């Protein structure tokens, strides 16, 4: 049986055994798209296979990336798993609600993924800023730490449980094509380049925060592919002063 579910993206995973356990959890609930970002001990890692308990084919076809941005480039929606407050304006959802939202998007032909951080430190803010929302598991506030496999199995279980039926928030996309993460990243890089040339990033210490703020603003907009193209045209026109030429041409005609 083929399952078209979200990608499971492990960032900076430390131990091969933990990757194997996460893969076992994935396949229990029909998920097979594993993406690894800069695994600490490199890849392939033979230590992952025994704990995968027969889900070896997922390990064999795992994709490896240097950065989170590269790992999510083809995805339209991404959720970050974290229990800590991050000082960002991000939608926060439970695993159950996340599964409903993912099912809705995938039913509409979109592709998505869930980011999991390294065992010891979790996700960094720069990676979270690439995501559309944060997934937080309701846990004992005095002991809210899950290991990697536990976190993967919780999200995978909720995905599987949500089933193939139309969800509560199912919305037809009609002819609109959602912008991919790569589309959004190129838009943001375009804007940051022009802002750099214009002298916006004046204070070195503030640059990382300002860049995260820009990413977070755009990730909340749910732009379509056509809207991204429009935005890039706007940025180009403003940066090159193209409007002045148009005004002169219009004045000549008048």
Is 147:15 a contact under the CB 8 Å cutoff?
A: no
87: left (phi over 0), alpha (psi -120 to 50) or beta: left
Give the separation between CA 240 and CA 194, rounded to whole angstroms.
10
What is the four-CA torsion angle of 79, 84, 88, 93, rounded to 10 degrees? 40
Mean pLDDT along residues 59-88? 90
pLDDT over 50 (residue 3): no
Mean pLDDT calculated for residue range 38-47 = 95
The predicted pLDDT at position 251 comes to 59
Inter-axis angle of helices 16-28 and 148-162, nearest 10: 10
The full set of domain ranges for the chain reads: 7-162, 181-253
Q: Average pLDDT of 176-182? A: 81
Query: Domain 7-162: which topology?
Result: Alpha/beta knot (3.40.1280)
Specify whether the CB–CB gap between 35 and 7 falls below 8 A: yes
Tell me the pLDDT tens digit for each residue of 84-109.
666 677 889 999 999 999 988 888 88
pLDDT of residue 1 exceeding 70, the answer is: no
Integer Cα distance of 19 and 8 in angstroms: 11
Task: Give the pLDDT score at 17.
Answer: 96
Looking at the chain, the number of H-run helices and the number of E-run strands are 11, 7
């Amino acid at each position: 049986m083929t399952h078209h579910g979200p990608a499971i993206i492990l960032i900076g995973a430390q131990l091969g055994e933990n990757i194997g356990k996460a893969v076992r959890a994935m396949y229990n609930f029909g998920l097979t798209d594993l993406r690894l970002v800069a695994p600490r001990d490199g890849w392939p890692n033979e230590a992952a296979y025994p704990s995968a308990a027969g889900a070896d084919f997922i390990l064999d076809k795992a994709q490896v990336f240097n950065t989170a941005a590269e790992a999510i480039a083809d995805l339209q929606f991404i959720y970050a798993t974290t229990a800590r407050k991050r000082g960002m304006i991000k939608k926060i959802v439970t695993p159950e609600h996340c599964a409903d939202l993912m099912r809705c998007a995938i039913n509409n032909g979109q592709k998505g993924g869930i980011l999991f951080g390294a065992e010891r430190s979790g996700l960094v803010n720069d990676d979270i800023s690439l995501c559309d929302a944060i997934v937080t598991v309701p846990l004992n506030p005095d002991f809210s730490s899950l290991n990697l496999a536990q976190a993967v199995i919780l999200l995978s279980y909720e995905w599987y449980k949500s089933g193939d039926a139309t969800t509560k928030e199912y919305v037809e996309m009609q002819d609109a094509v959602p912008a991919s993460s790569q589309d959004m990243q190129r838009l943001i890089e375009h804007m940051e380049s022009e802002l750099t040339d214009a002298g916006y990033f004046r204070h070195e210490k503030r640059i990382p925060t300002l860049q995260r703020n820009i990413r977070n603003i755009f990730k909340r907009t749910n732009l379509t592919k056509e809207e991204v193209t429009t935005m890039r045209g706007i940025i180009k026109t403003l940066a090159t002063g193209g409007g002045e030429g148009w005004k002169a041409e219009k004045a000549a005609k008048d």
